[in-house]
Amino acid sequence: MKSKATFYHAGCPVCVSAEQAVASAIDTSKYDLEIVHFGNARNRIDEAEKLGVKSVPALVLDGGVYHINFGASMADVRG
Amino acid sequence: MKSKATFYHAGCPVCVSAEQAVASAIDTSKYDLEIVHFGNARNRIDEAEKLGVKSVPALVLDGGVYHINFGASMADVRG
């Protein structure tokens, strides 16, 4: 069974760069990768914060949160 | 031709967690993945800093530097 990978971002330049590089490097034979853009999916903000996402871009692999560089804080995302 | 992915770390707990999750999620059909542990490879510190690595753990994909969470600064690694 594949594991779950979720890449959370907010469309910021740092996010887009990370999405293009990191998200595209994920082994999709092992992971079901979902890209969540908070600009289009504000209803996912609570879920991300509960998982421990503090800033974007962030990659969640099997429940572990990996913040990648720093684009914006979740407070900024929430606005 | 495969692209190059280098995961730099220093053996810290944050590094080990990121190595297990992120490095193992990299698609090795697309990337030649090298893991560099500065504890065993202090001669790679200069190279990493020149690439723009500011802290560990960090993943370098095609020359782009992606700092993953924060384990230690390169100043700490250099000691």
Q: Give pLDDT tens digits for B25-49.
A: 999 999 999 999 999 999 999 999 9
Nearest CA to B15 out of A66, A31, A6, A41 is that of: A66
CA–CA gap between residue B58 and residue B23 (Å, rounded): 10
Which among A21, A30, A66 is the nearest to B18, CB-wise? Answer: A66
- Chain A residues close to B17, C-beta within 8 Å: 64
Report pLDDT for A1: 82
Residues 6+ apart with CB under 8 A from A43: none
**Position A17: which residue type?**
S
Structure tokens at B77: 């690694």
Q: A14 is in which domain, residue-wise?
A: 3-78
**Quick check: A71 and A8 in contact, CB under 8 A?**
no
Overall average pLDDT of the B2-17 stretch = 94
pTM of the shown model: 0.94
A32 has which bridge partners?
A: A4
Please classify residue A39 by burial: count the beta carbons closer than 10 Å to its beta carbon, then call 0-12 exposed, 13-18 middle and 19+ buried: exposed
CATH number where B63 lies: 3.40.30.10
- Residue B59 sits at the chain A interface (C-beta within 8 Å): yes
Q: How far A40 CA lies from chain B's nearest CA (Å)?
A: 24
DSSP annotation of B29 reads: T
Find out whether A65 and A19 touch, Cβ atoms under 8 Å.
Answer: no
Which residues in B lie closer than 8 A to residue A59 (C-beta atoms)? 22
User: What is the pLDDT, as a whole number, of residue B1?
Assistant: 82
Q: What is the tally of structural domains in chain B?
A: 1
Residue bearing tokens 């990648």: A68
- pLDDT score, position A43: 97
pLDDT in tens, A4-57: 999 999 999 999 999 999 988 999 999 999 999 999 999 999 999 999 999 999
Distance CA A32, CA B17 (A): 20
Quote the percentage of chain B above a pLDDT of 70. Answer: 100
Which chain A residues are closer than 8 Å to B59 by Cβ?
22
Q: What is the mean pLDDT of chain B?
A: 95
pLDDT of residue A14: 94
Report the gap between the CA of B18 and the closest CA in chain A (Å).
Answer: 7
Give how far B17 is from chain A: nearest CA, Å.
Answer: 9
**Complex ipTM > 0.85:** yes
Neighbours of B40 (CB within 10 A): 9
